[in-house]
Amino acid sequence: MADRFRMTLAQLNPVVGDLAGNAAKAREAWEAAREADADMVALPEMFITGYNAQDLVVKPAFHTAAIEAVRQLAKDCAEGPAMAIGGPWVEGVELFNAYFILRGGRIVSTVLKHHLPNETVFDEVRIFDSGPIGGPYSVGNTRIGSPICEDAWHEDVAETLAETGAEFLLVPNGSPYYRNKFETRLNHMVARVVETGLPLIYLNMVGGQDDQVFDGGSFALNPGGALAVQLPVFDECIAHVDLERGESGWRVLPGEVAGLPDAYEQDYRVMVQALRDYLAKTGFKKVLLGLSGGVDSAIVAAIAADAIGPENVRCVMLPSEYTSDHSLEDAEAVANAIGCRYDYVPISGPRAAVTEALAPLFEGLKPDLTEENIQSRLRGLLLMAMSNKFGEMLLTTGNKSEVAVGYATIYGDMAGGYNPIKDLYKTRVFETCRWRNANHRDWMMGPAGEVIPPRVIEKPPSAELRPDQKDSDSLPDYPELDAILNILIEKDGSIADCVAAGFDRATAQKVERLIYLSEYKRFQSAPGARLTGRAFWLDRRYPIVNRWRDPT
């Protein structure tokens, strides 16, 4: 008679710092496991604290409370399946990223993370101490090994667990999204399965935390690397995975294998989920944004409507004498198509007042960028006033191309609490608009159909701060700019690499100079959804004061 083992996977969305709320989610998952007659329920890495908690977890009062919350969970879930849950652990003066096995009212096993990631968005080397490579733990008559997240990206931990008697691997993760990361994870886990000959269950959390979105997509692999189970990406779910032990060891029985959306859908879902969770977890229920009639603010309005519903989105047109009739028409058309509130607040009066106030100081000086920036900052002032008055979070709308080269006014159009498209290059903004017009999913709260009129997507981009202004007056055309930015930022390449790719040396040098000069703006910019492995903030950290320029 073959042995069976039922593992309940809790692919859930914790809130950083909400120990009681996260514990309640864990208890609900445990109840579901008990009702399903499971042997064990598993939750992701650092679930009790939420992830990535950064330096919060170092605070003694916090990690002490988190450990006590785990102990209380053990008592609450004493009669029924075992529970595996991530959290901090202290031994002497050392702080560890740990995975706890709870059974019979107590913590019966503690796994300590050995390999600490120290790249991209992770700083675990400065937060945690490295634990020793340990052996498997027992649940009933089964021995399980749990490499914690980064530990499964290296050979040694899984191999040691296999050599010391583990019969299958359960990998708890807090692994955030970047484009095409699922394939990278899967390849690493297949390598562990091939090396050890053991089945592997990969459990990831879901949900947004600041700039990061954890995308779920938990899966199970059988010996040889065959995919037996895959849970949906981004969705909270509780799933029961059955294993059967025969003469050759354990195998995962075939279960649900959810499809993987394409990269445009995943990116869009990340931007929606990031904003939805950022608002929910910080307590905001409504947003507002300046709607210019351009493509960037249009896609942000669509994202906001899909995140929290059109009825909770306020779009504001703030025209000056340079705002074209087309922009006025297009902004209103976007608001109407999405179904959100549309307000009209001209800046001509405030601009005249500021011009008059500064006239004695500016007498004899020609108008320049100063006057353009006054317009942008007046818009920021008025939008922030509305944000304060109505309790609605102001969204910023600068794409990655603009953020990279500083094509935005600090304290003006950069004002706001969150930027959903901060990691989306301009050329990809256009394609994302077309994708959203052609697609609708059940996780979108906005309307189906064409929400961004084609004219908004097709017209030449312009800040409209002076007569007949076009972005291309001061920047390379966006296809060229984005290709150069891809080399300098995404690939960390050189001017020589740009030239080798066919771009003009002077143009590449100009773009590089703008990137470095704009660092101080990015330092003060709103957080935004991370879509790539080279997002501005934690993925790419440069000094503000920096005289180096690539001489190649």
Is 296 annotated for ligand binding? yes
Q: Give the SS3 label for residue 15.
A: coil
Nearest to 225 by CA among 258, 255, 256, 198: 198
What are residue 1's DSSP bridge partners? none
Question: Binding residue per annotation — 59?
Answer: no
- CA–CA distance, 409 with 61 (Å, rounded to integer): 41
Q: Across-strand partners of 145?
A: 169
Cα 494 to Cα 349: distance, rounded to the nearest angstrom = 47
Residue 294 marked ligand-binding: yes
Annotation marks residue 281 as catalytic? no
Is 181 one of the annotated binding-site residues?
A: yes
Check the annotation: does 295 bind a ligand.
yes
Q: How far apart are CA 531 and CA 432, in angstroms?
A: 13
Q: Which of 25, 113, 422, 426 is catalytic?
A: 113
Element (H, E) at 251: strand 249-252
Q: Please tell me whether 293 is known to bind a ligand.
A: yes
Q: State the Cα–Cα distance between residues 209 and 69, nearest whole angstrom.
A: 21
549: nearest Cα among 523, 521, 511:
511
Is 45 designated active site? yes
Non-local CB neighbours of 166 within 8 Å, separated by 6+ positions: 135, 136, 143, 144, 145, 196, 198
Residue 290 annotated in ligand binding = yes
Dihedrals phi, psi of 78, to nearest 5 degrees:
-75, -35
Flag whether 297 is marked binding: yes
Q: Which among 45, 150, 167, 512 is annotated as catalytic?
A: 45
CB of 232 closer than 8 Å to CB of 242 = no
Tell me the DSSP string of 92-122.
TTEEEEEEEEEETTEEEEEEE--SPP-STT-
490: DSSP letter: I
402 annotated ligand binder:
yes
Q: Hey, is 137 helix, strand or coil?
A: strand
Count Cα atoms within 13 angstroms, Cβ side, for 31.
7
Q: Give the active site residue among 149, 315, 340, 498.
A: 149
Residues near 214 by Cβ (< 8 Å), separated by ≥ 6? 13, 44, 51, 174, 175, 176, 177, 204, 205, 206, 207, 208
| Under 8 Å between Cβ of 111 and 136 | no
Contact yes or no for 395/289 (Cβ under 8 A): yes
**Can you spell out the DSSP letters for 389-452?**
HHT-EEBP---HHHHHHT-S-TTTTT-SSBBTTTT--HHHHHHHHHHHHH---TT--SPSS--S
Q: Do the annotations mark residue 175 as ligand-binding?
A: yes
Q: What tokens does 137 get?
A: 């733990």
173 three-state secondary structure: strand
Q: Which residues contact 51 (CB under 8 A, 6 or more apart)?
A: 14, 16, 44, 45, 86, 174, 205, 209, 214
- Binding site, by residue number, is 175, 181, 290-297, 373, 397, 402, 521
- Binding site for deamido-NAD(+), by residue number, is 373, 402, 521
- Binding site for ATP, by residue number, is 290-297, 397
- Binding site for L-glutamine, by residue number, is 175, 181
Catalytic residues, which ones?
45, 113, 149
